[in-house]
């Protein structure tokens, strides 16, 4: 049961409006699938200001906050819940650094962007934050709980 709960870790990954505009949704989903993670939630919508101000609540005092919220409202985003071993940390590492200049080729940001303001994707920075963000962006019945039978030896 220790192993079960470890593999049940979940994170919130979001393709930002620039990633959607540039047709990167499929590539990003594919990276998580191929790595071995399980897709538990998936939806698209243009987020409200209220939701974005809650999501970026810890950045409210930053000078870039208004621009960040406006950019995030500029078009639809794709929200995802991914599940599996160490998925919060692994997800951050697959995304790359916030600053694309520090992002290594091979990461999503390292492969696809050069601008901090348009860095393609978001990933939760801790297990606690992940659980909060999943609650913000998904209703309970929009997050699936199912067994991956093809990987029954792993999961």
Q: C-beta of 35: minimal distance to ligand RTP in Å?
A: 18
Among 30, 57, 60, 64, binds ligand RTP (CB under 6 A): 64
Q: Which of residues 89-128 bind ligand RTP (CB under 6 A)?
A: 98, 116-117, 119, 122-123, 125
Is residue 70 close enough to count as binding ligand RTP by CB under 6 A? no
Q: Which of 94, 155, 104, 154 has its CA nearest to residue 124?
A: 94
Q: How many residues bind ligand RTP (CB under 6 A)?
A: 10
48 DSSP 8-state letter: P
Residue 122, class by beta-carbon neighbours within 10 Å (0-12 exposed, 13-18 middle, 19+ buried)?
A: buried
Query: Is 122 a known active-site residue?
Result: yes
User: Helix axis angle, 87-95 relative to 25-35, nearest 10°?
Assistant: 140
Q: Which residues here bind ligand RTP, judged by CB under 6 A?
A: 59, 64, 68, 98, 116-117, 119, 122-123, 125
Enzyme catalytic residues: 122
């Amino acid at each position: 049961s220790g192993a079960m709960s470890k593999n049940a870790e979940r994170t919130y990954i979001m393709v930002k409006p620039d990633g959607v505009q540039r047709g990167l949704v499929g590539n990003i989903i594919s990276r998580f699938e191929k790595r071995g993670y399980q897709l538990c939630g998936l939806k698209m919508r243009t987020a409200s200001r209220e939701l974005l101000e809650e999501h970026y609540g810890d950045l409210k005092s930053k000078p870039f906050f208004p621009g960040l919220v406006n950019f995030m409202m500029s078009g639809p985003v794709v929200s995802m819940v991914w599940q599996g071993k160490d998925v919060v940390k692994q997800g951050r590492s697959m995304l790359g650094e916030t600053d694309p200049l520090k992002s290594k080729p091979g990461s999503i940001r390292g492969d696809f962007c050069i601008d901090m303001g348009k860095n393609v994707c978001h990933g939760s920075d801790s297990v606690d934050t992940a659980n909060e963000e999943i609650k913000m962006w998904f209703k309970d019945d929009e997050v699936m709980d199912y067994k991956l039978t093809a990987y029954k030896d792993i999961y």
